[in-house]
């Protein structure tokens, strides 16, 4: 049996729980930053492949990349839900707002295509809009992290 001198203090236990919680909660901003970088690289390579002129390669490559980005998006959403569950107060609201903004990435193509001539708008503004949405979600998430650490 541990003597009272060797038992951990309550403050030590609370600090350890806080660090464990923040370790899991920090996965969301990291995955969101990875998603922002992957989206940016996807746009660069899609433009480069379109310039090369190999249509069959472009279709296969974009299909595979889109599948991988959807899997990464699923991980980002799961990490965001876990982060929102672990945090509380204003930080939780910021993470939920970040998830709401991130979900716009899936809704914008559907909404824009419902507009007359929406395909043209999506072709012009789509790449910038995708990266912008992920960056705004990342900014909200970093504000939540800053709020927790302050």
pLDDT tens digits for the chain (150 residues)?
A: 455 555 556 666 667 767 777 777 788 899 999 988 888 888 777 777 777 766 777 677 777 777 888 888 999 999 999 989 888 889 899 999 999 999 998 888 788 778 787 777 777 777 788 888 999 999 999 999 888 877
Please tell me the number of Cα atoms within 13 Å of 50 on its side-chain side.
7
Is the pTM higher than 0.85? Answer: no
Model pLDDT, residue 4: 57
- Reading phi first (left if > 0) and then psi (alpha if -120 to 50, else beta), residue 2 is in beta
Model pLDDT, residue 139: 93
Model pLDDT, residue 95: 93
Rounded Cα distance between 132 and 126, Å, is 10
- Non-local (6+) Cβ contacts of 133 within 8 A are 101, 102, 104, 105, 108
Rounded Cα distance between 148 and 67, Å, is 34
Q: Are 28 and 83 in contact (CB under 8 A)?
A: yes
Model pLDDT, residue 42: 80
Rounded Cα distance between 140 and 91, Å, is 9
Model pLDDT, residue 77: 93
């Amino acid at each position: 049996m541990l003597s009272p001198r060797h038992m951990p203090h309550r403050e030590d236990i609370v600090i350890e729980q806080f660090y464990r919680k923040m370790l899991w909660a920090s996965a969301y901003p990291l995955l969101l930053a990875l998603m922002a970088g992957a989206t940016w690289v996807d746009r660069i390579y899609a433009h480069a492949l379109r310039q090369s002129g190999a249509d069959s390669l472009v279709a296969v490559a974009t299909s595979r990349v889109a599948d991988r980005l959807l899997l990464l998006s699923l991980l980002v959403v799961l990490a965001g839900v876990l982060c929102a569950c672990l945090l509380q107060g204003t930080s939780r609201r910021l993470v939920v707002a970040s998830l709401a903004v991130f979900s716009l990435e899936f809704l914008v193509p559907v909404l824009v295509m419902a507009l007359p001539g929406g395909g043209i708008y999506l072709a012009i503004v789509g790449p910038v809009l995708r990266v912008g949405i992920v960056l705004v979600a990342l900014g909200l998430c970093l504000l939540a992290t800053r709020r927790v650490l302050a």
